[in-house]
Amino acid sequence: MRVALFLTCVNDTLYPDTGRAVVKLLTRLGVEVDFPMAQTCCGQAHYNTGYRHEAEPLARHFAEVFGDYEAIVTPSGSCGAMVRELYPRMGERARAEGRGDTLAATLAPVVPKTYELTEFLVDVLGVTDVGAYYPHTVTYHPTCHGLRGLGLGERPTRLLRAVKGLELVELPGAEECCGFGGTFALKNADVSAAMGADKVRNAESTGAEVLCAADNSCLMHLGGTMTRLRTGMRPVHIAEILASTKEEPAV
Amino acid sequence: MSGTFVGMPAFPKAAHEAVHDRTLRGNLRHATHTIRGKRAKAVAELADWAELREAGKRIKDHTLRHLDRYLVQLEESVTAAGGTVHWAADADEANRIVADLVKETGESEVVKVKSMATQEIGLNEALEAEGIRAYETDLAELIVQLGKDRPSHILVPAIHRNRGEIREIFAREMSEWGRPAPDGLTDTPAELAEAARLHLREKFLRAKVGVSGANFMVAETGTLVVVESEGNGRMCLTLPETLISVVGIEKIVPTWQDLEVFLQTLPRSSTAERMNPYTSTWTGTTDEDGPRHFHLVLLDNGRTDTLADEVGRQALRCIRCSACLNVCPVYERAGGHAYGSVYPGPIGAILSPQLRGTASEIDASLPYASSLCGACYEVCPVAIDIPEVLVHLRERVVEGGPVTRAGNKVVLQPAKGHAAERAAMRAARWAFSRPGVLRTGQRLASRTRRIHPRTLPGPGRAWSGTRDLPPVPAEPFRDWWQRTQNAKGGAE
């Protein structure tokens, strides 16, 4: 199976380790991974800040770049939700504005074949034990757009439970937002920081070494809060845990 | 809306203080988490919750779609049952109608059932200006009124107060308004409730005019419905000689059968009860029982304008249960007052900028008072997609566009103060439309990473004031990919 890795602009620029982990993991599972070099950004930040019309060319670009692949896999719940939930809505809005079906028709092909990483593993590949080894105590934060947008449910924790050496501890208040929220983190910095600090304290209370999530934007906010609060915990993307093996452990 | 909220600063500024108020944070955290857990249990008891939610949504959408017809039907039913219907286009008109009706009775005081519509129009203040005193009789509204405070929650308007603060307010203020608090009042809930009961009893027995809102109005019979927990509503609705109800036009349901859905979803969503203790229904006037005179004031106040917007109109489905407030992480930390409206929390953030427009600083900031986490949508018993409306209203703020104001189509200009953001968004779109430009930017960031500051100046402090910046890697993923793929290609 040949799939396109939609890494997202944030991961491409700031978290290349997550990208390498996805490639390593999927290759290990027999999937042929391609990274279309023309990919940029799905337009989520534009859309959610109120710049839907600025997001439209980015969505069209996405559809052009990824349209020919069998499946599109992304290690980001929120960017995955952008394509799956909000691209159809962008099409509807364009139609309501009297601009016809062109946008909806352009975006439609990529919508059903875009998968968040844990969804792709569990639903498409049908695996929960990916042969990983990660000898650490981990607590998992289900990020909002993965949890409530895509409905990832138990998929991430089922994958984590199957990792050898990994001890999964429950995060109190797991389903509460971490406070990142894209431009919310800047526009309402006080509330965002208070939410982040509460999430970090909850994570700390578990005694885990690692706070795991399936979205690096949230982990960027939480990781930045952790070092500022000097907690000693580490934020790690789920792809890096699942890619880790005894022979090639994640650092 | 209520004059008490005029001139509020933008949400982030108003939230700043609340976030650092430890007592308030503690009160709100305790209260919202308690009710959040109870609601989840109460909802989980019903196997058909998803169907009830869908039915509630559909009944409301159908009614809103045919609101013109149902309003006329309601007017006919109420009139036939002996009531009088008044139409109020805005807050001023509604206040004037109520004040005139009270004056006609020759009375100078009214008892009130808890009502969001009368809060929205600032009725108490308007009556005060006419020499009429309005007594709030809901326990939490009484606390707010005695404390010269503002409500901070739809269902529990004094949620920001703890028992100790309430004891203080009762002991200090009750004597100003009527029967004083008993000597040696403690902060036990039973004693506080008893003090309120004694204080209110004389008001119920004396009042000749009652003022209420309504949770529902049944078009087919002209019946109004109030659901409540304390019984104060029942007293106000039955003892006075004249009853005046001020109700938003969106509160209609076509038939009694439709109530079946909401009388299940509303109590479970709001107080986490299977059934609320008191459900009062009345249809016009009845000989020898209850009020002799019944007036219904139908309030528009921005609702028709909201109805004209095809994305935003879903906010009119709201049944004021406040489940969205209780699960909202932003509400929990910013408190209700920061929303600058009698409608706080997620629903307030989409209602206020629609009912009032986005011209003021507070209203233009409300659509951003959310991390778009979606917890509100998940619990909403009428499936209002609050995040969708928030994003839609953000667009209205930054892009402007067509809206309806006072029944007229107008085109809004983009709001001021977003110029830098707009330029940044355009620049980002330009760069992201060109992979080469993105790559150049990434490489520049990687090559200069040793000289990146740990904290940012100016607006960047919004991030780095509380969070470290992520370190920039030595190379972006795409460079690694190209390097390794080329190497592979070469080997093959």
Model confidence at A125, pLDDT cuts 50, 70, 90, reads: very high
What is the domain-level CATH number for residue B106?
3.40.50.10420
Whether B474 contacts B449, CB under 8 Å = yes
B16: in domain: no
DSSP state of B6: T
Cβ atoms within 10 Å of B48's Cβ, excluding its own: 10
Q: What Rg value do the Cα atoms of chain A yield, rounded?
A: 18
B459 chain-A contacts, CB cut-off 8 A? 186
Partner A contacted by B459 (CB < 8 A)? yes
d(CA B33, CA B30): 6
Boundary (domain end) residue, out of B268, B301, B334: B301
d(CA B388, CA B402): 18
Cross-chain Cβ contact A189/B470 below 8 Å: no
Q: How far is CA B52 from CA B42, B135, B145, B382, in A?
A: 14, 36, 36, 9
Q: Counting runs of H as helices and runs of E as strands, what totals does chain A give? A: 14, 8
Which residues of chain B from 389 to 418 reach within 8 Å of chain A, CB to CB?
A: 391, 393-399
What is the total count of domains within chain B? 2
Q: Residue A59: what are its φ and ψ, rounded to 5°?
A: -65, -40
Question: Is the pLDDT confidence value at B6 over 90?
Answer: no
What is the percent of chain A where pLDDT is above 90?
98
Whether A184 contacts B372, CB under 8 Å = yes
What lies within 8 Å, CB to CB, of B129 at 6+ separation is: none
Selecting from A16, A145, A188 the residue whose C-beta is nearest the C-beta of B476 gives A16
Residues in chain B: 492
Question: Is the pLDDT confidence value at B5 over 80?
Answer: no
How many interchain CB pairs under 8 A, A with B? 195
**Average pLDDT for residues A53-60, to the nearest whole number?**
97
What lies within 8 Å, CB to CB, of A230 at 6+ separation is: none
The pair of three-digit structure tokens given for residue B429, joined into one six-digit string: 């779109």
The pair of three-digit structure tokens given for residue B56, joined into one six-digit string: 């509630």
Question: Is the pLDDT confidence value at B281 over 70?
Answer: yes
- pLDDT 10s digits, B143-166: 999 999 999 999 999 999 999 999
Q: Give burial (CB, 10 Å; 0-12/13-18/19+) of B183.
A: exposed
**Average pLDDT for residues B238-258, to the nearest whole number?**
98
A220 chain-B contacts, CB cut-off 8 A? 470
What is the pairing mode between strands B209-212 and B408-412? unpaired
String of DSSP letters for B193-248: HHHHHHHHHHHHHH-SEEEE--SEEETTTTEEEEEESSSHHHHHHHSSSEEEEEEE
Pair (B80, B227) in one structural domain? yes
Whether B261 contacts B220, CB under 8 Å = no
**Average pLDDT for residues B390-404, to the nearest whole number?**
95
Positions of CATH 3.40.50 in chain A: 2-124, 137-243
A37 chain-B contacts, CB cut-off 8 A? 435, 478, 481-482
| Domain topology for A137-243 | Rossmann fold (3.40.50)
Separation of first and last alpha carbons in chain A = 29
Cross-chain Cβ contact A41/B473 below 8 Å: no
- pLDDT 10s digits, B301-358: 999 999 999 999 999 999 999 999 999 999 999 999 999 999 999 999 999 999 999 9
**Average pLDDT for residues A209-224, to the nearest whole number?**
98
The pair of three-digit structure tokens given for residue A195, joined into one six-digit string: 């939410």
Q: Chain A: residue nearest B432 by CA?
A: A40
A193 chain-B contacts, CB cut-off 8 A? 465-467
Question: Is the pLDDT confidence value at B180 over 50?
Answer: yes
**Rounded to a whole number, what is the largest CA-CA distance in chain A?**
58
Q: Chain B: residue nearest A37 by CA?
A: B478
What lies within 8 Å, CB to CB, of B90 at 6+ separation is: B300, B301, B302
Instruction: Give me the residues paired with residue B295 across strands.
Output: B84, B244
Among A58, A57, A76, smallest CA distance to A19 is for A76
Partner A contacted by B367 (CB < 8 A)? yes
Boundary (domain end) residue, out of B301, B318, B338: B301
Residue with tokens 């490639």: A23
CA atoms within 13 A on the CB side of B443: 9
**Average pLDDT for residues B430-454, to the nearest whole number?**
88
Model confidence at A251, pLDDT cuts 50, 70, 90, reads: low
d(CA B438, CA B387): 30
d(CA B208, CA B241): 5
At residue B455, the pLDDT reads 77
Boundary (domain end) residue, out of B245, B267, B301: B301
Question: Is the pLDDT confidence value at B108 over 60?
Answer: yes
| Amino acid in position A212 | C
Whether B472 contacts B445, CB under 8 Å = yes
Instruction: Give me the residues paired with residue A73 across strands.
Output: A5, A115
Q: Chain B: residue nearest A52 by CA?
A: B395
d(CA A4, CA A22): 11
B469 chain-A contacts, CB cut-off 8 A? 224
B207-B208-B214 Cα angle (round to 5): 85
Q: CA of B78 to nearest chain A CA: how many angstroms apart?
A: 38
The complex's ipTM works out to 0.97
| Amino acid in position B456 | L
Whether B155 contacts B270, CB under 8 Å = yes
Q: Chain B: residue nearest A39 by CA?
A: B435
B323: in domain: no
Q: CA of B192 to nearest chain A CA: how many angstroms apart?
A: 32
**What does pLDDT average to over chain B?**
94
Cross-chain Cβ contact B480/A19 below 8 Å: yes
Cross-chain Cβ contact A40/B438 below 8 Å: yes
Q: Residue A69: what are its φ and ψ, rounded to 5°?
A: -85, 155
At residue B486, the pLDDT reads 77
B39: in domain: no
Angle between helices B256-270 and B22-44 (to 10 degrees): 130
Which residues of chain B from 221 to 260 reach within 8 Å of chain A, CB to CB?
A: none
Question: Is the pLDDT confidence value at A112 over 60?
Answer: yes
Q: CA of A73 to nearest chain B CA: how many angstroms apart?
A: 16
Cross-chain Cβ contact B394/A187 below 8 Å: no
Whether B346 contacts B376, CB under 8 Å = yes
Whether B410 contacts B403, CB under 8 Å = yes
Selecting from A14, A175, A193 the residue whose C-beta is nearest the C-beta of B472 gives A14
Whether A51 contacts B421, CB under 8 Å = no
Per-residue burial over A72-86, b = 16 or more CB atoms within 10 Å of its CB, e = otherwise: bbbbbbbbbbbbbeb
Q: What are the helix (H) ranges across B207-360? A: 232-238, 256-270, 303-307, 323-327, 329-334, 345-355
At residue B4, the pLDDT reads 47
Selecting from B370, B435, B472 the residue whose C-beta is nearest the C-beta of A184 gives B370
Whether B337 contacts B298, CB under 8 Å = no
Selecting from B330, B435, B480 the residue whose C-beta is nearest the C-beta of A16 gives B480
Residue span of the structural domain in which B297 resides: 46-301
Please give the order of strands across the beta sheet that includes A71-74. Answer: A32-34, A2-5, A71-74, A114-116
What is the pairing mode between strands A2-5 and A71-74? parallel
Q: Give burial (CB, 10 Å; 0-12/13-18/19+) of A201.
A: middle
B65-B71-B72 Cα angle (round to 5): 120
Q: Residue B155: what are its φ and ψ, rounded to 5°?
A: -90, -40
Tell me the CATH number for domain A2-124.
3.40.50
Question: Is the pLDDT confidence value at A164 over 70?
Answer: yes
Cross-chain Cβ contact B375/A185 below 8 Å: no
**Rounded to a whole number, what is the largest CA-CA distance in chain B?**
99
Question: Is the pLDDT confidence value at B109 over 70?
Answer: yes
Q: Give burial (CB, 10 Å; 0-12/13-18/19+) of A70.
A: exposed
d(CA A236, CA A213): 7
Model confidence at B491, pLDDT cuts 50, 70, 90, reads: very low
Residue with tokens 């402007």: B400
At residue B492, the pLDDT reads 38
